[in-house]
């Protein structure tokens, strides 16, 4: 493991890693356990990956924790996920502060159950001065929703005469996204063998390196994170150019 870590080039660590944490249910099923225990085990991975990311100098870690589509799951699972979120945030605040982790959220959080929203807001408030790493939780998140919200806000500005349509640039559009101020992820990881984006950060991953692993999220540890980063570091990001043009 320390061997994997030593292979990482500290000068080329992604500033921002986004993760679609998938496979909790299948992990539990494989072990003959209820799905909820898979989600509980997934919290351990969140902890380990956040700490490992902070240690190697990742500045932003965005975790897909609950999609807008996830409301369609059996109600008992949704309730269990919301309780787990409350319990986890409450239980982790001390360690987040100890490790310099700032908590943030993206998504339609106003529509979360009041107790979840309250705890989330407390977590954000209590960690707001930390600056080692920012942990962005995507909660009730949908990329299409986010893009529509941005579009509506810009349309309002145009309607009021504060903005001309030709002035809408990538920078102006990005300013209206919930991730404004955060650099786009250089690396997106999805666990559990699925190879889809599931409505996650569609605008922001326009030029992101994608890494898919069959490992279920509860089994994803620091070693797996380092493997993903090494895979990223072995790729050539050409940005439309040819190899010979790169520095």
Q: Which residues bind ligand IPE (CB under 6 A)?
A: 20-26, 64-67, 69-70, 81, 192, 196, 198, 217
Q: Count of CB atoms within 10 A of residue 240's CB?
A: 6
> Closer CB to ligand IPE, residue 91 or residue 214?
214
Measured from each CB, the residue nearest to ligand IPE is: 25
**Whole-number minimum distance, CB 37 to Mg ion, in Å?**
15
Tell the smallest beta-carbon distance from residue 24 to Mg ion (Å).
7
CB of 22 to Mg ion, least distance (A): 4
| 61, containing H or E segment | strand 60-67
Strands 209-212, 133-141: parallel, antiparallel or unpaired by DSSP?
unpaired
Asked whether the beta carbons of 60 and 134 are under 8 A apart, the reply is yes
Residues 6+ apart with CB under 8 A from 141: 64, 66, 67, 68, 106, 107, 108, 199, 200
The least distance separating ligand IPE from the CB of residue 27, rounded to whole angstroms, comes to 7
Distance CA 217, CA 42 (A): 6
Is residue 217 a contact point for Mg ion (CB under 5 A)?
Answer: no
Number of H helices, E strands in the chain: 8, 6
Q: Which does 20 bind (CB under 5 to 8 A by kind): Mg ion, ligand IPE, none?
A: ligand IPE
* Phi, psi angle pair for 58, to nearest 5°: -70, 135
Binding mask 12-51 for Mg ion (x = CB under 5 A): ----------x-----------------------------
Binding partner of 65, given ligand IPE, Mg ion, none, CB within 5-8 angstroms per partner class: ligand IPE
Nearer to ligand IPE, 72 or 245 (CB): 72
Quick check: 78 and 71 in contact, CB under 8 A? yes
Nearer of residues 22 and 146 to Mg ion, judged by Cβ:
22
Taking the least distance from each CB to ligand IPE, the nearer of 13 and 63 is 63
- Report helix, strand or coil for 184: coil
Strands 16-20 and 60-67: parallel
Residue 233 partner contact from Mg ion, ligand IPE, none using kind-dependent CB cut-offs of 5 to 8 Å:
none
Q: Decide if 129 is catalytic.
A: no
Q: Which residues are catalytic?
A: 22, 70
């Amino acid at each position: 493991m320390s061997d994997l870590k030593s292979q990482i080039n500290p000068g080329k660590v992604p500033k921002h890693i986004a993760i679609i944490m998938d496979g909790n249910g299948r992990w539990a099923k494989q072990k003959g356990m209820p799905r909820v225990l898979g989600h509980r085990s997934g919290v351990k991975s969140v902890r380990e990956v956040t700490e490992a990311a902070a240690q190697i100098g990742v500045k932003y870690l965005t975790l897909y924790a609950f999609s807008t589509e996830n409301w369609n799951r059996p109600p008992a699972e949704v309730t269990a996920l919301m309780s787990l979120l409350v319990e986890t945030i409450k239980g982790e605040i001390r360690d987040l502060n100890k490790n310099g982790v700032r908590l943030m959220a993206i998504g339609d959080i106003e529509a979360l159950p009041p107790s979840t929203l309250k705890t989330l807001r407390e977590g954000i408030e209590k960690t707001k001065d930390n600056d080692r790493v920012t942990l962005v939780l995507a909660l009730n998140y949908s990329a299409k929703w986010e893009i529509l919200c941005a579009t509506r806000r810009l349309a309002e500005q145009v309607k009021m005469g504060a903005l001309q349509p030709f002035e809408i640039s990538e920078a102006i559009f990005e300013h209206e996204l919930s991730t404004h101020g955060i650099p786009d992820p250089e690396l997106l990881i999805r666990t559990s063998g699925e190879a889809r984006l599931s409505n996650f950060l569609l605008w922001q991953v326009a030029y992101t390196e994608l890494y898919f692993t069959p490992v279920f999220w509860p089994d994803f540890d620091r070693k797996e994170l380092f493997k993903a980063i090494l895979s990223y570091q072995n790729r050539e990001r050409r940005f439309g150019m040819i190899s010979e043009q790169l520095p």
